[in-house]
Amino acid sequence: MNPVYVVIWKELKDMLRDIRTLAAIAFLPLLILPLMSLTSIYAQGLQPGYVALINYDRSSGSIGGVNITSDDVLREISETLEKYGFQVIQGVTTNVDATIIIREGFARNLTSLTERARLELIKTLGSSKADQVESIVSNIVNDLNFRIASLKIAELGSVSGLNVSVDSVLRPVEAQVRVVGVGGAPVSYEETLKVYIARFLSFSLIFVTTPSTAYITDSVIGEKERKTLEALLSTPVPRYALIVGKVVSTSLIGLLTGFTNALGLLLFAYVPSLIYGVNLFSLIPGSVMLAHFIAIYSSVLSSLALVTPAVIRSGSYRTAQASSMIIISIATIVFFISLYVDIEQLSDIYKWVLYVIPYTHASLFIKFVALGMLSNALTHLVILSLVIISLMYISIKLFNEERIIYGRT
């Protein structure tokens, strides 16, 4: 048999002895990703929110034949907050997330042409619900401002005898937003969502780098500490076959994790369709899922190619694990950047620094497949492959039997 196959067979046999760990690694994405989707939908609803409403206003007003009181405004705020699951308490109280106060003269000033009505929102420090209250109240106030301003403009137009357009006064500038592709052709809303989904798929690669690096550490340092590495090195297996076999067999753990990660992402996208009827599942094309699967395996190989030279030179588990953590941290940073930044649009110095890191090319590969720019995607995939091969070559050259066996543990 080819010596590489012999090493792969031997490593797989070792890994299969710990079937429980393999099962946990494989099924973790199937559990975590759907739970992430569910918790993102339900988590805020599980936390009760309390809002106190205080009305100091006893005035009333009228504009354009419409009578307005502060009670009307408070009722609208109360109904909206209750619709979002908040418990509304009338009057002064403590232990609430936010307090909304209607100041004296609110209705009178609201309908005045010279004064401004005052509404005060008091947020409790450290309350996440308070931020949600602020957003809800801000939307209500903006809507109220537009409605009252429309009535005032209509009233002034009637008094002056002018034909006044409310939109012309309140919205003098009309902004139109269009999304186009790289060639300038318009794209649909679904195509825009695909790009955001591709960013998320790139970010999800974070979850697949850790298991393989842990296994390669055990494969080298573990064998050394268990005193089985000497027997392996005494065989006629070439040293290149030893390194390549260990990396390839360990990468199969990443392949398994990548498969379950892809399934987990499909479940992540399918959960909202069950709850809200928004079928994100249909927005993930097969080409993007295939690209995601390829990027997963490439990222795993990149992690192994980066960490193997360090593991070979490490004298102990602790040193090897520290090296692995550095690699995982670099991967996390790159995938997090890809979630918010167009890497290829950065200035040259920052862009080329990121291009040195193989994970960057895995992320860009997914993005360009989603954009339909297959030549760019293949370019980054080829670069990624060359980097992996180069790092593997370095690992083989760094392999030193005496240092591994007789080095400190």
288 CB contacts (<8 Å, ≥6 apart)? Answer: 194, 197, 198, 201, 366, 369, 370
Q: How far is CA 301 from CA 213, 244, 252, 291, in A?
A: 10, 11, 10, 15
Full domain range(s) for residue 232: 3-38+190-406
- Does residue 362 surpass a pLDDT of 70? yes
What is the distance between the alpha carbons of residues 4 and 237, in angstroms, rounded to a whole number? 8
Give 42's DSSP letter. Answer: H
**What does the block give as tokens for 49?**
């929110």
Block residue for tokens 């030549």: 375
What is the distance between the alpha carbons of residues 255 and 301, in angstroms, rounded to a whole number? 10
Do 245 and 309 belong together in one domain? yes
**What does the block give as tokens for 202?**
């790139």
248 within domain boundaries: yes
In this prediction, residue 169 carries a pLDDT of: 81
**What does the block give as tokens for 140?**
């209500």
312 neighbors 398 (Cβ within 8 angstroms): yes
- Domain end (from 105, 135, 170): 170
Do 96 and 208 belong together in one domain? no
Q: Cα 235 vs. chain centroid, distance in angstroms?
A: 47
Q: Which helix (H) or strand (E) holds 70?
A: helix 70-83
Q: Using DSSP, state whether 175 is helix, strand or coil.
A: coil
In this prediction, residue 234 carries a pLDDT of: 75
In this prediction, residue 105 carries a pLDDT of: 92
What is the distance between the alpha carbons of residues 63 and 251, in angstroms, rounded to a whole number? 72
- Does residue 122 surpass a pLDDT of 90? yes
Do 286 and 335 belong together in one domain? yes
Q: Which helix (H) or strand (E) holds 87?
A: strand 86-90
178 within domain boundaries: no
Do 155 and 253 belong together in one domain? no
In this prediction, residue 381 carries a pLDDT of: 92
What is the distance between the alpha carbons of residues 254 and 299, in angstroms, rounded to a whole number? 9
User: DSSP string spanning 112-127?
Assistant: -SS----EEEEEPTT-
Q: Return the number of other C-beta atoms located less than 10 Å from residue 16's C-beta.
A: 9
The amino acid at residue 212 is S
What is the distance between the alpha carbons of residues 294 and 288, in angstroms, rounded to a whole number? 10
184 within domain boundaries: no
The band of 198, judged by pLDDT with boundaries at 50, 70 and 90, is confident
Average the pLDDT over 157-171 and give the result.
Answer: 82
Tens-digit pLDDT profile for residues 251-299: 887 777 777 776 776 676 666 666 555 555 566 677 887 888 888 888 8
**CA gyration radius, the chain:** 31
The percentage of residues in the chain with a pLDDT greater than 70, rounded to a whole number, is 83
215 neighbors 255 (Cβ within 8 angstroms): no
Do 125 and 194 belong together in one domain? no
Do 281 and 312 belong together in one domain? yes
The band of 407, judged by pLDDT with boundaries at 50, 70 and 90, is low
In this prediction, residue 332 carries a pLDDT of: 81
- Domain end (from 170, 205, 239): 170
246 neighbors 13 (Cβ within 8 angstroms): no
Do 34 and 53 belong together in one domain? no
Residue 4, Ramachandran bin (φ over 0: left; ψ between -120 and 50: alpha; else beta): alpha
The pLDDT mean for the chain works out to 80
Do 330 and 199 belong together in one domain? yes
**What does the block give as tokens for 351?**
């862009």
Do 54 and 33 belong together in one domain? no
How many domains, in total, are found in the chain? 2
- Domain end (from 140, 170, 200): 170
- Does residue 401 surpass a pLDDT of 70? no
Q: How far is CA 355 from CA 14, 344, 349, 358, 387, in A?
A: 36, 9, 10, 7, 11
Q: Using DSSP, state whether 60 is helix, strand or coil.
A: strand
Tens-digit pLDDT profile for residues 17-70: 777 777 776 777 677 767 776 666 566 566 678 999 999 998 888 887 888 889
270 within domain boundaries: yes
43 within domain boundaries: no
Do 253 and 196 belong together in one domain? yes
Do 234 and 146 belong together in one domain? no
300 within domain boundaries: yes
Do 24 and 157 belong together in one domain? no
Average the pLDDT over 150-157 and give the result.
Answer: 87
175 within domain boundaries: no
86 within domain boundaries: yes
Q: Using DSSP, state whether 278 is helix, strand or coil.
A: coil
What is the distance between the alpha carbons of residues 117 and 106, in angstroms, rounded to a whole number? 5
